[in-house]
Amino acid sequence: MKKLLLLLFLFVMLPGISQEQEDLKVGLVLSGGGAKGLAHIGALKVIEEAGIRIDYIGGSSMGAIIGGLYASGYTAHELDSIFHETNFNILIQDNIPRSAKSFYEKEDAEKYAISLPFDDFKIGFPAGLSRGQNIYNLMSQLTMHLGNVDDFEELPIPFFCVAADVETGEEVILDEGSFAQAVSASGAIPSIFSPVSLNGRLLTDGGVANNYPVEELRKRGAEVIIGVDVQDSLVNKDDLRNVFDILAQISNFRTISDMKEKIPKTDIYIKPDISPFSVLSFEKGEAIIDSGRVASLKRKDDLEKLAARQSTGPRNIVIPEMDTLQISTLTLEGNNNYPRSYILGKLRLNYFTDFTFKELNEGINNLSATGNFNRINYRLIPNNDDQLYTLSLQIEESKNKSLLRLGVHYDELYQIGALINFTHKSLLFTNDVTSLDVVVGDQFRYNFDYYIDKGFYWSIGVKSRYNNFDYPVSFDFASENAELQDIGVNRIDIDYRDFTNQFYAETLFKQVFSFGLGAEHKFLKIASETLNNPNPEISDTRLFENSHYYSAFGYLKYDSYDNKYFPSRGVYFDGNFHLYLFSSDFNNDFSEFSIAKGTLGYAFSPINRFSTRIVTEAGFKIGNDGVNTLDFFLGGYGNNLINNFVPFYGYDFISLSGDSYIKGLVEFDYEIFRKNHVIASANIANVGNKLYSSGDWFTMPDFTGYALGYGIDTFIGPLEVKYTYSPEIKSSQWFFSLGFWF
């Protein structure tokens, strides 16, 4: 009887014992391939549907990014959603939102087409087109739930990734430390992303050393391995059309040769058809994901059989949602030249207050926008209290202190200009910037800036500018400023020269909001070669102005536009006040006076690709009526006009003048396709003397103008063509400009 009971017991328990013995450890290896690696998402969907529990994941490059996120707890469908919500153009190009830049940094970033390292007066080249900061930020945000996990074996699914040592070419296995830093290093595609400094080694794309780490996965205990391979195959000679195709072919020699040995080591090998795609085909992401799904469906029977040999199915991992957190402590490493106060000023960090991840990213972007750091690594480490975190910040300061920057521009007023800039950081202080612009071409100009950046504390700056142009203007302009008799001409050529020096201090309330005070010296010289001088021994009637002016000024700026030239959302305000105290008084007509002006703009996008901009401007002079060379002059088109020149559609440059004005502008911008804009504009204005004291500012507009234009946002700046018309003068004007305005 006892033997019978024992036999029955064994019969009942045997299936369970057998199944437990059969419970296979499954490893997943994911290769690199840039955008082609999105096929891994489609493959993971089918693997999940088959019911397979993944026990180990190893990956390289894009395989490390997708595999790492899957190992941290995301499902394949969640990864699909993340892909659809990610703007890969911003992610790859490391575009920093305009709102993250100070006003000095905004001006700096919207002027130059090319920036090159220039240390020791030697031109260098950046280590990559992008520093990869945006990828790191995204990885940090998506894996914040990992907390203080340092060992990747402790992830929901044990994980490792592969990088390559730039110095030795050796394979480097990353399975501990900062998760975001590890996958960023593995995915640092050469020439596109700068190498990542980690543990004293300079690391780049893991695909360079081992793009399919199946052997390492086997060493870690995987009994059955599923592999998804998105590497390129060799192409025939007819498809090798240019140097890039040839270089890609050469770089694939080794990896394709290695796969001959690696494929037999893979139990279930999945090879999506990625031939129509490149490493940067992120815009075709849905098709790439589907290619992974289609290829995996061909092996679904094998996948389901494998799932049946496991005792348990996929892990059910819930990633907690965290809307806000509180930071109690900041640890800082790597700031050898920039003080802690400078870092804190840029971060805008307040301890023990609710802090969103968006606000943290804004602070990181503020630091990144300075250009003083190659990379900013950070981790949020939970304290004993789940609501409090330590922000562990590790920064890598840029070794490039000097830059050579270039730009080009053409417009109707200044004609052709080539911009050469030399910028040097930390000349006198660790957080200062010295910049010299020299414009050579039809009109020589220069602009010098020295700025001590104190973040949100009071910053100090010095500016010096020389500006000149030759342009035919209405005779009224000249006669008003030189008391000329009517000589029967409508227009004369003037030579306008401006030399301005400023000392100022400003503080930022936010990156988009600044207040400043300063002192200014201005030298104005206005002359004409059109006119003859009949009595040169008495006076020079060709010289209208030749005076030095000394003033105190203040300004208030707010700029949340998302784009300087084609804004689709945001608010803009620029108000300034000048009190002119002294003058050398060339025309003997000076007495103290003030000039105030302000611009308020609002941009919004009611529907996709369609934007509306509404702008209103006003300005007036208080005091002396004798000096009119600093009056307001309306007409033409421009984005960086000096003094009180104001663009106005329908009229040529310097066509309308007065000591006060009010102007309104409405623009409708339709982006017909990426970076291509069709813009319809209408502006109205009243311009004259004493508009506000007489009440004439609040009457029907005396001047109107309309414009229809086409603009392209290029890497050298906007290319714009505008046709403008004014019904009052029944005349049209064409305006053409190319490049950033400077």
**pLDDT tens digits, residue range 461-502?**
999 999 999 888 765 554 554 444 554 455 678 899 999 999
Residues in the chain: 742
Domain span including residue 477? 400-737
Quick check: is 693 in a domain? yes
Question: pLDDT, tens digit, for every residue of 153-209?
Answer: 999 999 999 999 998 989 999 999 999 999 999 998 887 888 998 888 999 998 888
pLDDT range class, residue 556, cuts 50, 70, 90: very high
What is the distance between the alpha carbons of residues 637 and 707, in angstroms, rounded to a whole number? 10
Query: What pLDDT is stored for residue 491 in this prediction?
Result: 66
The CB density around residue 564, as the number of other CB atoms within 10 Å, is 19
* Domain-located, residue 435: yes
648 shares its domain with 528: yes
| CB-based contact 601:634 (threshold 8 Å) | no
Contact 47, 243 (CB under 8 A): no
540 and 649 in a single domain? The answer is yes
The DSSP-derived string for 197-221 is EETTEEEEEGGGT-SS-HHHHHHTT
Number of domains into which the chain is organized:
3
20 pLDDT tier (thresholds 50, 70, 90): very low
Q: Does 409 lie in the same domain as 377?
A: no
In a domain, 8, yes or no: no
3 state DSSP class of 340: helix
The amino acid sitting at 216 is E
**pLDDT score of 245:** 62
- 368 and 296 within one domain: no
Helix axes 133-142, 179-186, angle to 10 degrees: 140
**What's the angle, vertex CA 128, arms to CA 127 and CA 133, rounded to 5?**
110
Is 445 within the bounds of a domain?
A: yes
CA atoms of 215 and 663, how far apart (whole Å): 71
Question: What does the pLDDT look like over 241-257, one tens digit per residue?
Answer: 665 566 666 667 667 77
In this structure, what CATH number is given to the domain that contains residue 387?
3.10.20.310
Instruction: Assess contact for 98 and 564: CB atoms under 8 A.
Output: yes
- Report pLDDT digits (tens) over 76-88: 999 999 988 888 8
Residue 573 has pLDDT above 90, yes or no: yes
Check residue 559 and report its DSSP letter. E
Backbone torsion region of residue 51, taken as left when φ is above 0, otherwise alpha when ψ lies between -120 and 50, otherwise beta: left
What would the two tokens of residue 345 be? 């000023």
Q: Which of 330, 362, 395 is the last residue of a domain?
A: 395
What tokens does 659 get?
């000591």
User: 55, 94, 108, 205: which is the annotated catalytic residue?
Assistant: 205
Is residue 327 located within the same domain as residue 298?
Answer: no
| pLDDT(452) > 80 | yes
Supply 490's token pair.
């409508």
Cα–Cα distance measured from residue 429 to residue 20, given in angstroms and rounded to the nearest whole number? 68
- Does residue 140 carry a pLDDT above 70? yes
Q: Could you tell me the pTM of the whole model?
A: 0.77
CA distance from start to end of the chain: 101
Catalytic residue among 31, 61, 459, 560: 61
d(CA 205, CA 194): 10
Task: Say which amino acid occupies 481.
Answer: N
* Segment (H or E) for 388: strand 388-397
Residue 61 a catalytic site member: yes
Mean pLDDT of the chain, nearest integer: 87
User: Does residue 7 carry a pLDDT above 80?
Assistant: no
Residue corresponding to tokens 């279930």: 268
Establish if 481 belongs to a structural domain: yes
Q: Taking 60 as the threshold, does the pLDDT of residue 539 lie above it?
A: no
105 belongs to a structural domain: no
For residues 269-295, give the mean pLDDT.
92
pLDDT at 5: 44
